[in-house]
Structure 1
Amino acid sequence: MADLRHTHELAFAGDVVIKRYMDSKPGAAEREWRALNLLAEYAPGLAPEPIGYEDGVVTMSRIDGVPLRGLFARTVHVAPLVEALTELHTAVPPTVLRTVPQRPWQLDAIADWVRRRGAGWRPREPLADRAVKEGLRWLESWSPGEQGVTPVFGAGDGNLANFLWDGVRVRIVDYEDSGRSDLAFELAELAEHVSMWVDGEVEVAHRFELSPPEERRLRECRKVHALVWLFLLSHEHPRNPPGTFRRQVERVLATLGA
């Protein structure tokens, strides 16, 4: 789930990046360091190279590229983005992946977060109130189970700003919420992240060949993530265009009806 707090500080020294984590996010530095080492071994070139780790500070190589969010990603970027995600998800061998801790903010945790936010919702305007009401009603009737769960290594953050385009390929940064996950959940988080549609729709989830159970799980997980963003965007942020919350309300209602 998106973490809108300030969780780290970045410093640059030539071709080196120094990432200092705050105490407010326990385990983040360890997750980042683990991910960089795994990817250096199993998917070299996809992520920054690990250089050093000590006392919550991760030092890594600086990689070239422009954030896809700043590019207003379009068709030319989608295939390389899918290739990068496929490499990320499948690089870590299954025997190794089983030893990797589960990433934070898995399905049960974000569902509970949505319920708490929904319980504290104060009426504001009819369409938004309807989205909250219908979302909570659906959530209470939903039982996800284990159908369609395909283990993958997940970065844990669907923000387009974490995908860097160098003119040829896409590479991925920011692994503070990374860990063992499942494919449908990761694709749902990516597809519903505000950065994927606020500047122009970037649809990547349908570029993956999924089994029918994975497709069903993807649709259900997208509903949960859409509800997360309903609450996260309930207070307009200057980073997003005016009317973003209203658009999210409409997305939630459309997603619940899918």
Structure 2
Amino acid sequence: MSHTHRLHLDGDVVTKTYVNWSRNEHVREWTALRAISAARPQLVPVPIRFTPPTPYPSIIMSRLPGTPLAGCLSPEELEALHVALTDLWSIPPTDVEPLDRAAFFERIRSSISSWDGAGIIAEAHQAATEWLAAPTDLAQPAHPVIGHGDPNLANYLWDGQQVRIIDFEDAGRSDLALELATLVEHIASRATDWTTFVDRFTVDPDRFRSARRLHAIFWLALLRPGSPAAHRNPPGTGELQAERVLELLA
């Protein structure tokens, strides 16, 4: 998987230079940071300056304190993450571009239908293919929010009291069920039981279940043998993801 950017740290300032911006990552991040920091200045880096491609685009922003979340989150970390995401999702998403969920859905469908393998991973692909063939309304936001787009726990910085959020290059207008689902189903989130965390948000359970299925299938495509993230995870991760998909689709 190619890197989209490089970072330069200088005291309290970070310069993020994009080496790949095929999905308009630099504009997405700048727009999201401006909207969020105006409403919640302690939640995200404060954007200082935007430089268009000359030849590479960059954003200069403030540097945030804290260390990345990881592993099984403690009750204190979960509480701080809940506060941070509640703040993020309370900001009207009018100033950010919508995420193209229809295209995301189609990419997953194409990836799943094109794979040829065997065993439990093939069984999960078959079940996923059948589920993806059915109509869905996930492309139509039901509870619009600013979507972070990359809820890897490493993008949430914990200073012992507060969680702050970084890395908004995939940000855009999304909806609450999809954002919760992409957090819960992220490979970095597996060590934590998210049940009581999710229960604190008012979200349609059927839509949330469908969104979890979609993102679990997305991770199946990433973790199966020969796929982009397979070599960065322990042997058997693809089989475990196949079991997760089959359980969610049952």
- With normalisation by structure 1, the TM-score equals 0.87
Structure 1 residue 146, shift from structure 2 partner: 7.7
Aligned match of 2:18? 21
Aligned match of 2:62? 61
Aligned match of 1:233? 223
Shift in CA distance, 10/72, structure 1 to aligned 2, threshold 3 Å:
farther
Deviations 1:171-205 (A, max 9, x none): 100000111111111111111110001xx134165
Aligned match of 2:105? 111
> CA–CA distance in 2 between the matches of 1:45 and 1:28?
22
> CA–CA distance in 1 between the matches of 2:143 and 2:207?
10
> CA–CA distance in 2 between the matches of 1:145 and 1:223?
11
Structure 1 residue 23, shift from structure 2 partner: 3.6
> CA–CA distance in 1 between the matches of 2:18 and 2:141?
34
Structure 1 residue 79, shift from structure 2 partner: 1.2
| Range that drifts further, 183-192 or 236-245 | 236-245
**Any gaps of 5 or more consecutive residues in structure 2?**
none
> CA–CA distance in 2 between the matches of 1:246 and 1:109?
26
Structure 1 residue 33, shift from structure 2 partner: 0.9
Native 8 Å contact 1:151 1:181 kept in 2: yes
Secondary structure of 1:91's counterpart equals coil
The amino acid across from 2:219 in the alignment is W
Provide the identity percentage: 38
> CA–CA distance in 1 between the matches of 2:206 and 2:131?
15
Aligned match of 1:208? 200
> CA–CA distance in 1 between the matches of 2:48 and 2:199?
34
Deviations 1:77-103 (A, max 9, x none): 1111111111111123xxxx3343113
Shift in CA distance, 146/60, structure 1 to aligned 2, threshold 3 Å:
closer
> CA–CA distance in 2 between the matches of 1:243 and 1:116?
24
Deviations 1:226-247 (A, max 9, x none): 0000010113645433322121
Aligned match of 2:116? 122
Structure 1 residue 148, shift from structure 2 partner: 7.5
Shift in CA distance, 167/256, structure 1 to aligned 2, threshold 3 Å:
same
Native 8 Å contact 1:118 1:132 kept in 2: yes
> CA–CA distance in 2 between the matches of 1:201 and 1:22?
33
The alignment yields a C-alpha RMSD, in angstroms, of 2.0
Native 8 Å contact 1:148 1:217 kept in 2: no
Shift in CA distance, 247/47, structure 1 to aligned 2, threshold 3 Å:
same
> CA–CA distance in 1 between the matches of 2:138 and 2:154?
32
Alignment of 1:9 onto 2:1: no
- With normalisation by structure 2, the TM-score equals 0.90
Deviations 1:56-87 (A, max 9, x none): 10011110111002x54233311111111111
Native 8 Å contact 1:78 1:202 kept in 2: no
Structure 1 residue 25, shift from structure 2 partner: 2.6
> CA–CA distance in 1 between the matches of 2:150 and 2:202?
21
Structure 1 residue 252, shift from structure 2 partner: 0.5
| Range that drifts further, 243-252 or 146-155 | 146-155
Structure 1 residue 221, shift from structure 2 partner: 0.8
> CA–CA distance in 1 between the matches of 2:189 and 2:138?
27
Aligned match of 2:45? 48
> CA–CA distance in 2 between the matches of 1:168 and 1:13?
25
Alignment of 1:219 onto 2:216: no
Alignment of 1:89 onto 2:80: no
Aligned match of 1:195? 188
